[in-house]
Structure 1
């Protein structure tokens, strides 16, 4: 029996992938390539067991040489984030496993962050509220609406182990649908910092049920083209996440 072909980001995550697979600056090509690939892994744009886009495609999207890309992949492989496989169904596959929840780990990460937790929350709210209000104001195409509903269904159906990844892709998709690369890039960077803290916090079933209702309210407001309702729905959702983190870290 032949081995099933593995998925790559080109097959399921384009909007979210565009937020991280963006052109790097020539002066720090290697470092930024590593950062982009690591962001894709930690944000769950490329999940554990899934494959990065083909080398030629990924180098083109990042605007780097294939030599630089290979060096970055080798660095991540040596650190245990990915592995390279040969053969027809080969490529670069993610092997990273997020750390187990730990309050001490979250506090250590927070101490290393630049700026305060409040600053992080305020900036995230400005980005995500702005994205939702924009989408509700201009409306969605049929294709965009279908994608957003797909992302919603994925996060609703996610297992506890896969929830953070699907939740992240849902939020990044909202930013990408605005058509603003600057907004998408800023949210991806902010979500990286948030996720480091969220991954250290246990996932509670009751909180997931509440988040699911809030996600649905956000999508419904956008589809109904109600900017004020979308603003309130996103603010409520993000306030809830901020409260949980503060309580966990307190």
Structure 2
């Protein structure tokens, strides 16, 4: 089948922000599929057009498309009539999978959770950088960062959580730390509903390193901006998979 009229995708496709190109591109393509703007069996717009509309390189676009192929949502076909096609949705999900997803997401206002998480993480990063850390505190933060770098995939989310909890605790506010622990538990429930994506984890690690560096340098504005961007990448993935 021919790709849909470009105007039909205009409300969804838009240039992504530079900091989270992969995650936001994935979110927008997932939205196209989940809204049914490209039906099962239909072809997505050509890679060149998609890349231009999203404002990303074709390499980044292909990485996003590959993730969705691995998830069984898209299929790449070669030849004269080839391209990237949306696969028809199965008549029924895997036994228990849909029920578990609904159980975890039910009753959660995802947007509220994500906004609150961003407020707390941005605030904690700014406080740590502005107030400064002792030598022992700085060593503790570096150790938490190093643990995420060396983490096996199965342990990554736990150690990622510990890094962010450490940053919250080092902010010096027990109330902030308690609130962050609570909202992070909700975020982790959501994260456990989506796949671990190596490309996203690599990007997150670069952001973690930059964030810790800004905190240790006392760059409060930089730390806040990196934290905000980092939260935005996670939010884009969760919206794409769960919205």
User: Would you call these one fold, judging by a TM-score over 0.5?
Assistant: yes
Cα distance in 2 for residues equivalent to 1:218 and 1:107 = 33
Residue matched to 1:109: 104
- Asked if 1:186 is matched to 2:179, the reply is yes
Residue matched to 1:213: 206
Backbone CA RMSD of aligned residues: 1.5
- The ranges of structure 1 where at least 4 consecutive aligned residues each deviate by more than 2 angstroms after the TM superposition are 101-108
Q: What does 1:56-67 align with in structure 2 at a 5 Å threshold?
A: none
Residue matched to 2:160: 167
Residue matched to 1:246: 239
Cα distance in 2 for residues equivalent to 1:247 and 1:103 = 16
Question: Please, what TM-score do these two structures have when normalized by structure 1?
Answer: 0.57
- Asked if 1:152 is matched to 2:145, the reply is yes
Is the CA contact 1:107–1:249 (under 8 Å) kept in the aligned structure 2?
no
Give deviations 1:173-196, integer Å, cap 9, x for gaps.
001111211111000000111111
Question: Please, what TM-score do these two structures have when normalized by structure 2?
Answer: 0.58
Cα distance in 1 for residues equivalent to 2:192 and 2:170 = 26
Cα distance in 2 for residues equivalent to 1:125 and 1:200 = 20
Count of aligned pairs? 148
SS in 1 for 2:195: coil
SS in 2 for 1:235: helix
Is the CA contact 1:102–1:200 (under 8 Å) kept in the aligned structure 2?
no
SS in 2 for 1:201: coil
SS in 2 for 1:112: coil
Provide structure 1 residue ranges, at least 5 long, that are not aligned to the other structure.
Answer: 1-100
Q: What does 1:21-170 align with in structure 2 at a 5 Å threshold?
A: 105-113=100-108, 116-170=109-163
SS in 2 for 1:162: helix
- Deviation of 1:108 after TM superposition, in Å, equals 3.1
